Amino acid sequence: MLQVIKSVLAAFLGVQSEKNRQQDFQSRSPWPFIVTGVVMTLVFVLVVASVARWAAS
Amino acid sequence: MVPELPPRPDKHQAISDTAAGGSAVDQGGHHHEQPTGLLRWLLTTNHKEIGTLYMLFALLMFFIGGTMALIVRAELFQPGMTFVVPEFFNQMTTMHGLIMVFGAIMPAFVGLANWLIPVQIGAPDMALPRLNNFSFWLLPVSFTILLSTLFMEGGGPNFGWTFYAPLSTTYGPPSTSFFILAMHLAGISSILGAINIIATILNLRTPNMRLMDMPLFVWTWLITAFLLIAVMPVLAGVITMMLLDINFGTSFFDAAGGGDPVLFQHLFWFFGHPEVYIMILPAFGIVSAIVPTFARKRLFGYASMVYATASIALLSFVVWAHHMFTVGLPLTAQLFFMYSTMLIAVPTGVKVFNWIATLFRGSISFELPMLFSLAFIVQFTIGGLSGVMLAIAPVDFQYHDTYFVVAHFHYVLVPGAVFAILAAAYYWLPKWSGVYPNVKLGLAHFWLSVIGVNLTFFPMHFSGLAGMPRRIPDYALQFADFNMLSSIGGFLFGISQLLFVAVIVLCIRKKGEKAPAQAWEGAEGLEWQLPSPAPLHTFDTPPEFIPERDSPSRH
Amino acid sequence: MHSLLPFGRWLLVLCVIFASQVQAAAINTSSGWNLPPGVTSISQEIFSLHMIIFWICVAIAVVVFGVMFWSLFAYRKSKGAKPANFHENTTVEVIWTAVPLLILIAMAIPATATLKKIYDTSDADIDILVTGYQWRWHYQYVEEDLSFFSNLGTPRSQILGEEDKGDFYLLEVDNPLVVPVGKKIRFLFTSNDVIHAWWVPDLAIKKDTIPGFINESWTIIDEPGTYRGQCAELCGRDHAYMPIEVRAVSQETYDEWLEEQRQMLAEDAAGSQREWTMDELMDRGKGVYNTYCAACHQADGSGMPPAFPALKNNPMMITEEGRDAHIDAVLYGRSGTSMPAYSGTLSVADIAAVITYERNAWGNDAGDRVQPSEISEMLSDD
Ligand code: HEM
Ligand SMILES: [Cu+2]
Ligand SMILES: [Cu+2]
């Protein structure tokens, strides 16, 4: 799971090493990545939103 | 549609059998009693022919939209109402934008997808060939309707390509309902095209080609297609609400009836911002194919490129209100959209760095496709940098709705996306036609285009900063010199495109140096195994693909 | 080869540009190339944010294009370059992702601070309600019970090229917005029809005016002067023709100006009672006509049929029977066409004058007068 989160984070930055990538693509189903990606997008939005909220106050 | 990686060979067989087989029933028929003349093109289900149709259609629209831009530039050559009346000027700016976005750039990319995706993944055709035919033929219908509005009473759309309500609803010309119909048809065409592309990529890859073995052009199109499916319905929704406001007395966007004009902008840009990425991601794929070929070195950071594309696509859903910094959003929202927009610039920048790292320590030659791609990188970067400036909300108060914004998005779209499309044409023309594009004409086309496009759009940064609002037919005297430069550049760029037509005509007539299967020395990919020109039906049996040898991500 | 031809023009036009900078600088604080630093603390903050981000972008461009062109030059195949075989380096990638990220975060901090100041509209001394109309601005001094329209001041003959264009071509109005220096002015923005945007670069204010919504912004102008701007959101045919002129003056001048305005209002009110002569009506009517009507119906009343009917020889305007319909059209507009209602826009004297003018100009020979009192009676009937 940690690996999945790390990979999705890497995807957000757009940087991924070949080794980790190989590892990701060993896994048989893409679903963990897709679900984590969507969840992390939501988390990302919440984080930026709370930073904005904090900065505005 | 179940995206399993890697697809099992037997599954591929089965599906390609139905695709090639299902359509092959009629395609098989085509082999023997192919309709000729117009009917052949009207009824074709062949991905190469449909791809060609898309691209020729895009070229035609490019010239129609371009002529409109030149009318605009002619009026702006000098201050004063000199050439057309303001009503007509507004129709020209609006139609120019709509035609270039929905009629030229998007269909050109779909045409490239049609031609290239099957041959790059070793598929016999698109997964849904008849749907493919339908998606294409919706476009001429749509744009005939759109263009016909110019001849209706009250004229065509005159409210800008962003058609903000209530200017486009309560105050729109009577032809607006036809404009809405035309947009619906174009939208349906895009959605169907996107479904087809996703189905093809996920199901028809040759055995052993995993997702991470696909060429980047295929990757970027896969992601673009998902973006299209996600946002085209939003566009359809917003124009339907307009239709109801105009014809059925609702007031979604009419403040007098309790509606909300700002809601229109939220909906439009929720579609509109991903839309601008739809117009650039396939260009990233093209450049990522061409640069390694002529640097004779594999793409730097293939995996990062894929990840950055996915990241841009996801982020593009949460930045839309950077187009609305002046509508009076609450402070928190303003900050949110400023931050998220600044963040999206990062993966975009990563792309540029990767191309440059690919050039670094390569063995570089400067054939025509490479020239266009290199110009793309430089010019797109200029557009990206002005994008970063626009992202700073307080400063955007000064930039917004000025020629600075016009300069920004033309830099990413014309010297950006259009140059990538031209690069793709020069790169794959040998595969399409069997002969190399004429180098002398091509070089003239390239240099005149580079000079023309920069002469047109670079001065717009200055006129914008000096204070010239966009979408005005007449302007104060201090903007006169920059506008004159832009107009001269515009005509130079426009006229040089005739050279491109000459290049294509020569290729179609097979006048030129014959191209071998491997048309470019350093090119990689399944398409280069096919003879040039590629026969109508290819990869009826899936080609051999060994990731360790053929994958762009191999070690 | 081909590049020679445009290059000559480049040089020529560049010379022209340099020659014209003097004039551009005279119109606002812009150099003619760049944003104006402006005349408020906010505008100056925005200007420096702009310059910082601009130089950051230039620096990035220099580095990126530097490496790129150097690579293109150094690794040419024609010079026998052999391709290396690397295509990944995670460390380098992390660095070039992190550096821009840090730069942007560094940029976001001052930008956030400025934005917060811009949003603080509290404690204003003066409130002005700005309403966008197709195609003019309306200013209402909320505390003063004073309001007026501000129209394009440039004559049509300049636009059509029949006359030389003046220095403030398209940037001049009939009634400028007058404000005192050193006071916090709060602007409230709304619109009567479509969305417009009120933009004065020297004040660094650009705000959309949206029907049914009220937006806010504020400014404190330090230096007296005239600051010009334009509508920045496409609003239809005459979008290019609704400029803004803000005149910042000392408090005394401002008070005098207010007094003058009140007097004029009083005179106007008195005027709507008394009997006007034909000459008075025609004189005033001509001015009103050219400001409000001529854009569509043309200065010579010939119109642009079918969209904009001719008024010259228009049956409504040369016969007694047409009189009521004529007045009705001007007061209430024609729905379904672009003819607006002027009952809320023009004073009764203006309406009476312009109708009289239309009935007696360009060879129209109705011969009758329409009196302001008649119009105010009609309006009070509703
Ligand atoms: C680094 C990435 C980019 C950033 C940060 C960025 C930012 C922005 C911002 C803030 C605006 C709004 C400006 C305004 O109206 O005041 C804008 C407008 C626009 N951008 Fe970008 N942009 C980027 C890349 C792109 C790309 C890649 C494209 C398309 C290929 C694009 C196309 C457009 C278009 C079409 C508009 C204007 C639409 C209109 O108002 O008509 N941008 N951009
Ligand atoms: Cu955007
Ligand atoms: Cu306006």
Q: What is the pLDDT of residue B402?
A: 95
C115, B330 Cβ separation under 8 angstroms: no
Full pLDDT tens readout for chain B, 555 residues: 334 444 433 434 444 444 443 343 344 444 456 677 788 888 888 999 999 999 999 999 999 999 999 999 999 999 988 889 999 999 999 999 999 999 999 999 999 999 999 999 999 999 999 999 999 999 999 999 999 999 998 889 999 999 998 999 988 899 999 999 999 999 999 999 999 999 999 999 998 888 888 999 999 999 999 999 999 999 999 999 999 999 998 989 988 888 899 999 999 999 999 999 999 999 999 999 999 999 998 888 888 888 888 888 888 899 999 999 999 999 999 999 999 999 888 888 888 988 999 998 888 999 999 999 999 999 999 999 999 999 999 999 999 999 999 999 999 999 999 999 999 999 999 999 999 999 999 999 999 999 999 999 999 999 999 999 999 999 999 899 999 999 999 999 999 999 999 999 999 998 889 999 999 988 889 999 999 899 988 898 888 888 878 888 776
Q: Where are the domains positioned within chain B? A: 45-550
Rounded Cα distance, B86 and B359, in Å? 48
pLDDT tens figures, C297-339: 888 888 887 778 888 888 888 888 888 888 888 888 887 677 8
The residues that bridge with C206 in the sheet, in sequence order, are: C199
Q: What is the pLDDT of residue A2?
A: 74
Q: Shortest CA distance to B160 belongs to which of B466, B430, B439, B469?
A: B469
Q: Do C90 and A13 touch (CB under 8 A)?
A: no
Q: Ligand 1 centre and the CA of B307: distance in Å? A: 21
Q: Do B364 and C193 touch (CB under 8 A)?
A: no
Rounded Cα distance, A18 and A39, in Å? 24
Rounded Cα distance, B273 and B261, in Å? 18
Contact residues, chain A, for C93 at CB < 8 Å: 15
Rounded Cα distance, B334 and B321, in Å? 8
Q: Ligand 3 centre and the CA of C147: distance in Å? A: 19
Q: What is the pLDDT of residue B12?
A: 42
B325, B400 Cβ separation under 8 angstroms: yes
| DSSP character at residue B541 | S
Q: Ligand 2 centre and the CA of B19: distance in Å? A: 38
To which H or E segment does residue C263 belong?
helix C251-271
Q: What is the pLDDT of residue A56?
A: 82
Rounded Cα distance, C371 and C349, in Å? 8
Q: Do B82 and C49 touch (CB under 8 A)?
A: no
Q: What is the pLDDT of residue C4?
A: 40
Q: Do B360 and C71 touch (CB under 8 A)?
A: yes
Atom of ligand 1 nearest to the CA of B412: 30
Q: Which of C212, C237, C268 is the last residue of a domain?
A: C268
For ligand 2, an ion, list residues with CB under 5 A: B 273
Supply C135's token pair: 């195609």
Q: What is the pLDDT of residue C18?
A: 52
| Residues C86 and C186 occupy one common structural domain | no
Q: What is the pLDDT of residue C150?
A: 92
Q: Shortest CA distance to B140 belongs to which of B63, B196, B58?
A: B58
Q: What is the pLDDT of residue B14?
A: 40
Q: What is the pLDDT of residue B96?
A: 96
Averaged pLDDT for residues C212-237? 93
| Residues C76 and C6 occupy one common structural domain | yes
Rounded Cα distance, C62 and B481, in Å? 27
Helix and strand totals (H; E) in chain C: 11, 10
Q: What is the pLDDT of residue B367?
A: 93
Closest in C90, C97, C112 to A17, CB measured: C90
Q: Shortest CA distance to C56 belongs to which of B391, A29, B318?
A: B391
Rounded Cα distance, B511 and B436, in Å? 9
Q: Shortest CA distance to C126 belongs to which of C222, C219, C262?
A: C219
Q: What is the pLDDT of residue C331?
A: 87
Rounded Cα distance, B359 and C83, in Å? 9
Rounded Cα distance, B129 and C228, in Å? 59
Closest in C88, C94, C97 to A18, CB measured: C88
Kindly report the nearest CA distance between residue B221 and chain C, in angstroms: 23
Collapsing DSSP states into helix, strand and coil, what is residue A25?
Answer: coil
Closest-CA residue, ligand 1 atom 26, reads B412
| Residues C253 and C279 occupy one common structural domain | no
Instruction: Give buried/exposed letters for C239-267 (b at 16+ CB in 10 A, else e).
Output: bbbbbbbbbbbeeeebeebeeebeeeeee
| DSSP character at residue C252 | H
Q: Shortest CA distance to B325 belongs to which of B392, B273, B275, B405?
A: B392
CB atoms within 10 A of CB B79: 22
**Cα–chain-centroid distance for residue B520?**
25
Catalytic residues of B: 96, 125, 161, 189-190, 273, 275, 277, 288, 322-323, 348, 351, 470
Rounded Cα distance, C265 and C91, in Å? 74
B387 Cβ inside 6 Å of ligand 1: yes
| Residues C325 and C375 occupy one common structural domain | yes
| Residues C264 and C332 occupy one common structural domain | no
pLDDT tens figures, C13-27: 555 555 554 444 445
Size of interface B-C (CB pairs under 8 A): 309
Rounded Cα distance, B448 and B104, in Å? 21
Rounded Cα distance, A37 and B177, in Å? 40
Of residues B66 and A56, the one with the higher pLDDT is B66
Q: Is the Cα torsion angle B289, B295, B298, B299 positive or negative in sign?
A: negative
Q: What is the pLDDT of residue C295?
A: 78
The answer, as to whether pTM is greater than 0.80, is yes
CATH number at residue C310: 1.10.760.10
Q: Which of C118, C153, C170 is the last residue of a domain?
A: C118
The residues that bridge with C150 in the sheet, in sequence order, are: C137
Domain carrying residue C260: 126-268
Q: Shortest CA distance to B326 belongs to which of B238, B395, B271?
A: B395
Chain C neighbors (3+ CB pairs < 8 Å): A, B
Q: What angle do CA B380, B382, B388 make, to 5 degrees?
A: 105
Task: State whether residue C33 sits within 8 Å of chain B by CB.
Answer: yes
Q: What ipTM was assigned to the predicted interfaces of this complex?
A: 0.88
Rounded Cα distance, B237 and B247, in Å? 15
Rounded Cα distance, C286 and C356, in Å? 9
The phi and psi torsions of B285 (rounded to 5 degrees) equal -65, -40
| Residues C223 and C193 occupy one common structural domain | yes
| Residue to probe by mutation, ligand 1, list B327, B390, B411, B421, most atoms within 8 Å of CB | B390
Look at residue C360 and tell me whether its pLDDT is greater than 80: yes
Q: What is the pLDDT of residue C382?
A: 62
Q: Which of C210, C241, C268 is the last residue of a domain?
A: C268
The hierarchical CATH code for the domain B45-550 is 1.20.210.10
Total domains in chain C come to 3
| Secondary-structure percent of chain B, ordered helix, strand, coil, rounded to 5 | 70, 0, 25
Averaged pLDDT for residues C152-175? 88
Instruction: Show Cβ contacts of residue B278 under 8 Å, excluding neighbours closer than 6 positions.
Output: B106, B224, B227, B228, B231
CATH number at residue C53: 1.10.287.90
Rounded Cα distance, C120 and C328, in Å? 46
Chain A neighbors (3+ CB pairs < 8 Å): B, C
Q: Ligand 1 centre and the CA of B409: distance in Å? A: 6
| Residues C259 and C307 occupy one common structural domain | no
Q: What is the pLDDT of residue B82?
A: 84
B390 Cβ inside 6 Å of ligand 1: yes
Mean pLDDT of chain C: 85
B461 Cβ inside 6 Å of ligand 1: no
Look at residue A14 and tell me whether its pLDDT is greater than 70: no
Averaged pLDDT for residues C114-121? 92
| Residues C235 and C303 occupy one common structural domain | no
The phi and psi torsions of C162 (rounded to 5 degrees) equal -85, -10
Q: What is the pLDDT of residue B370?
A: 95
* Burial class of residue C162 in the structure, from the number of CB atoms within 10 Å of its CB (0-12 exposed, 13-18 middle, 19+ buried): exposed
Look at residue C379 and tell me whether its pLDDT is greater than 60: yes
| Residues C76 and C29 occupy one common structural domain | yes
> What's the pLDDT band for C29 if we cut at 50, 70, 90?
low
B282 Cβ inside 6 Å of ligand 1: no
